[in-house]
């Protein structure tokens, strides 16, 4: 069998409906695996939002190192909820992912104006 005939047979096999369906199925499987690999904080995004808003209210603006204290308070809140939900404490990598998630969510809330701002003064009428 010469190379031309071999390549023609290989091309026909690769272009068969069964092989195309198999390749499409493999690609879908791979994409599902990649999509399922989310950071740990995304599963607790609602809790993180609540923790960030709570920390903003509880720690006054005149507190020294307020950003660090707010991050720490929010992280402790989220770690408590994580431990209650999973039944075990978070490992070091999960803690780091949750800390990063808190920072990401805080930045998003601040950029969108959803953090509690002081109430505007009412107009005298």
pLDDT of the chain along its 125 residues, tens only?
688 888 888 888 888 888 889 888 988 888 887 776 677 788 888 899 999 999 988 888 888 888 889 999 999 999 999 999 889 998 998 899 999 999 999 998 888 887 755 544 444 44
CA distance 80 to 54: 14
Q: What is the pLDDT of residue 32?
A: 82
Neighbours of 90 (CB within 10 A): 17
CA distance 48 to 25: 36
CA distance 101 to 120: 30
């Amino acid at each position: 069998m010469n190379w031309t005939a071999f390549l023609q047979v290989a091309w026909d096999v690769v272009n068969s409906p069964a092989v195309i369906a198999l390749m499409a199925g493999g690609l879908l499987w791979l994409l599902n695996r990649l999509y399922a690999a989310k950071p740990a904080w995304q599963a607790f995004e609602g809790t993180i939002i609540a923790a960030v808003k709570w920390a903003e209210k509880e720690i006054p603006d005149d507190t020294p190192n307020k950003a660090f204290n707010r991050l720490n308070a929010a992280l402790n809140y989220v770690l408590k909820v994580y431990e209650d939900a999973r039944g075990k404490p978070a490992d070091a990598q999960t803690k780091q992912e949750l800390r990063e998630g808190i920072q990401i969510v805080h930045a998003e809330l601040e950029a969108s104006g959803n953090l509690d701002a002081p109430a505007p003064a009412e107009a005298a009428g």
